[in-house]
Amino acid sequence: MSAPVFLPPTSYEYVTVRRVQGAAATEASDVLAAEEPLEIRVGFGPAGQREHRTLSITMRTPGHDFELAAGFLFTEGIIRSRQEVQGLIYCPDVAKEEERENVVRAELAPSALPDLPRLERHFYTSSSCGVCGKTSIEAVHAAACPVLPPAGPLVAASVIHQLPERQRQAQELFEQTGGLHAAALFSPAGELLLLREDVGRHNALDKVIGAALLQELLPLHNTVLLVSGRASFELVQKAAVAGIPVLAAVGAPSSLAVSAATNFGMTLCGFVRQNRYNVYSHPWRIVQADDV
């Protein structure tokens, strides 16, 4: 079985499995999505007085690591613009060989003034983090979340139906492994603009936002985001920080996700599959084709 040449070689692994069908069992080769830890570090301060901190360790699928780090820094409020990032590198001074290309350092501009208490706090990593919902939403507002546009973009109802298939067709690694989340950015007409895959749904979205940040495309006011899993508060928060006005999810939203989307002025759709979906907040952006 030859390796798919269109995928980064670190994004997948081959394993031997025992494949059982009915009473028959055979040895076969299978492809798995790779999962490895990524440590995100940040360097900041004036020349001659630079400090370095570890911000986060996340389990991710290798590939687009600089985008992941940049998106994480932006959606967590550590940086506010592309200009605050001087460079992104794999740390050369790692202690173990297996850490090579698993530790990324973002060097911030000397003029960047990261919030030190924010650097030291525990980042939200799951829906069971125990943070009060009201406090969480207020914290995002306090982080200068971009105001979502009060008018438009308008998206045809039929376009929302088409997004899952268009996303799936572009998921190269999922086609090989079946084990990845995806975040895809579309135009209001349904044109695929950007897609990233990862074992973590938050990482997939951070990669998309990081790519947009590094290309200086933010805020993403004229886009529609589709995520392959459920819509959690964290995904709504990250989308809001990037200025994305329409978030669609293949799965269900959480109650806090709906509350946050309502507060942020975001249109949130859930259960987008099998030619149906629910609109949970700000449905005025979803219109009939003749009204677009």
Residue 95 CB-half CA count within 13 A? 1
Minimal CA–CA distance to 231: which of 252, 245, 246?
Answer: 252
Q: Please report, as a single letter, which amino acid is at residue 57.
A: I
d(CA 110, CA 108): 6
Cβ atoms of 291 and 154 within 8 Å: the answer is yes
185: its two tokens: 């950015």
CA distance 2 to 183: 27
**Residue 132 catalytic?**
no
The helix/strand/coil state of 123 is coil
Residue 219, preceding peptide bond in cis (omega within 30° of 0): yes
Given 129, 132, 145, 269, the catalytic residue:
129
- Helix H or strand E segment including 214: helix 201-214
Structure tokens at 29: 């080769």
The two structure tokens encoding residue 268: 């949130």
Q: Where are the beta strands (DSSP E) in the chain?
A: 12-21, 24-33, 36-44, 51-60, 85-90, 103-108, 155-156, 181-186, 192-198, 224-227, 246-249, 267-273, 276-281, 286-287
Q: What angle do CA 12, 205, 98 make, to 5 degrees?
A: 40
Active site residues: 129
